[in-house]
């Protein structure tokens, strides 16, 4: 697992903190729509930071601005002091990895192969060599396989290495996405709704996994709707509402903020009894103009 050599834990003291991610004034417009407006956010080494907000608040769009999928209309994103390169491949190579709100795996490849593909920014041979299996690939393969095996063990999927990705249950596909992201040896991991569709046991296991990732020296920024998950896990939480950062603080501060409660926490917890009915009522209200959301469009930019 990657160790962050630039972060030194002083024996018996507090760890020295380094700014890993520094997003300043990030604005993303699509035509007349401003999906993200002037958002500042930092993530320091050793931190787990949460990003919450109602559907359509701009969370995924913000992630896309942090990973080179979008170049922000305004503002700047720095990773370890350097402005982000303009393509997602280069951003991954620089050290930012992510998972997607809608799972993206190579469904007809095995679990192990999916993780190996995730290593393509870290092997000299690169993606096409990995796919085409050229001679260079075979030299690098043994080391890569060993690392991929370690990562599968780390997320609890070692026993499924030879299964096709599409045959994994949903929760395990999410774990595999995390293993694949870790395969690029990131310094910062972005997780977009990692527990969506999981049962409470799987969610709990994911919480432990994220703590373990943090303990390996990888900073984490996580989007999630499950408030118990977020407030258990995160050192800091930022709330986006209609593209703007409403508040940022520790769990207690954010949970207690009246504007957050009004804008978001009034929504039922995921999996809570009656959640679906309440969500329907809220959706109807939103449609009537109480909260502008556009759930259909949120899928479109989920990449």
Ligand X SMILES: Nc1ncnc2c1ncn2[C@@H]1O[C@H](COP(=O)(O)OP(=O)(O)O)[C@@H](O)[C@H]1O
The footprint of ligand X (CB under 6 A) covers: 30, 33, 35, 53, 55-61, 294, 297-298, 300-301
Pick between residue 148 and residue 240 the one whose CB is nearest to ligand X.
240
| Encoded tokens for 207 | 């919480």
**Residue 61 touches which member of ligand X, Mg ion, none, C-beta under 5-8 Å by kind:** ligand X
Asked whether the beta carbons of 171 and 39 are under 8 A apart, the reply is no
CB of 152 to ligand X, least distance (A): 29
The one of ligand X, Mg ion, none whose footprint includes residue 84, by CB under 5 to 8 A per kind, is: none
Minimum distance, C-beta of residue 38 to ligand X, in the bound complex (Å): 15
Report in angstroms how near the CB of residue 195 gets to ligand X at its nearest: 15
Report the C-alpha dihedral over residues 205, 209, 214, 215, rounded to 10 degrees: 100
Among Mg ion, ligand X, none, partner that 161 touches (CB below 5 to 8 angstroms by kind): none
Nearer to Mg ion, 55 or 123 (CB): 55
Are the C-beta atoms of 210 and 232 separated by less than 8 Å? no
**CB nearer Mg ion, residue 59 or residue 119:** 59
Work out whether 60 is an interface residue with Mg ion (CB under 5 A): yes
Q: Which is nearer to ligand X, 33 or 143 (CB)?
A: 33
48-52 and 236-241 strand pairing: parallel
Q: Which is nearer to Mg ion, 57 or 209 (CB)?
A: 57
- DSSP for 174-223, written as a single string: HHHHHHHHHTT--SEEEEESTTTT--HHHHHHHHHHHHHHHHTT-EEEEE
Partner interacting with residue 203 (select from ligand X, Mg ion, none; CB below 5-8 Å by kind):
none
CA end-to-end distance (rounded Å), the chain: 26
Which among Mg ion, ligand X, none contacts residue 297 (Cβ within 5 to 8 A by kind)?
A: ligand X
Tell me which long-range contacts 155-161 makes (C-beta under 8 A, separation of at least 24). Answer: 155/179, 155/182, 155/209, 156/205, 156/209, 157/111, 160/111, 161/110, 161/111, 161/112
Binding site for Mg ion (CB under 5 A): 59-60, 101
């Amino acid at each position: 697992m990657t160790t962050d050599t630039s972060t030194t834990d002083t024996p018996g003291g507090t760890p020295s903190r380094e700014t890993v991610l520094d997003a300043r004034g990030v604005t993303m417009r699509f035509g007349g729509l401003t999906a993200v407006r002037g958002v500042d956010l930092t993530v320091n080494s050793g931190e787990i930071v949460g990003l919450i907000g109602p559907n359509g608040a701009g969370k995924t769009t913000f992630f896309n601005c942090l990973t080179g999928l979008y170049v922000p209309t305004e503002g700047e994103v720095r990773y370890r002091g350097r402005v982000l390169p303009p393509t997602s491949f280069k951003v991954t190579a620089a050290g930012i990895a992510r998972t997607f709100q809608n799972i993206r795996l190579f469904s007809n490849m095995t679990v192990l192969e999916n993780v190996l593909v995730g290593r393509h920014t870290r092997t000299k041979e690169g993606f096409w060599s990995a796919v085409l299996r050229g001679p260079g690939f075979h030299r690098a393969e043994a080391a890569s396989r060993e690392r991929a095996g370690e990562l599968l063990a780390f997320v609890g999927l070692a026993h499924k290495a030879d299964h096709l990705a599409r045959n994994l249950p949903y929760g395990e596909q999410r774990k595999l996405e995390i293993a694949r992201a870790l395969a690029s040896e990131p310094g910062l991991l972005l997780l977009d709704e990692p527990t969506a569709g999981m049962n409470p046991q799987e969610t709990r296991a994911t919480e432990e996994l994220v703590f373990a990732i943090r303990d390996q020296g990888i900073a984490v920024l996580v989007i999630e709707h499950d408030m118990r998950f977020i407030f258990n896990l995160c050192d800091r939480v930022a709330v986006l509402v209609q593209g703007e950062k409403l508040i940022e603080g520790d769990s207690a501060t954010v949970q207690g903020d009246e504007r957050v409660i009004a804008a978001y926490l009034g929504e039922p917890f995921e999996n809570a009894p009656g959640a679906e009915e309440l969500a329907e009522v809220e959706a109807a209200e939103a449609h009537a103009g109480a909260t502008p959301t556009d759930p259909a469009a949120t899928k479109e930019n989920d990449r």
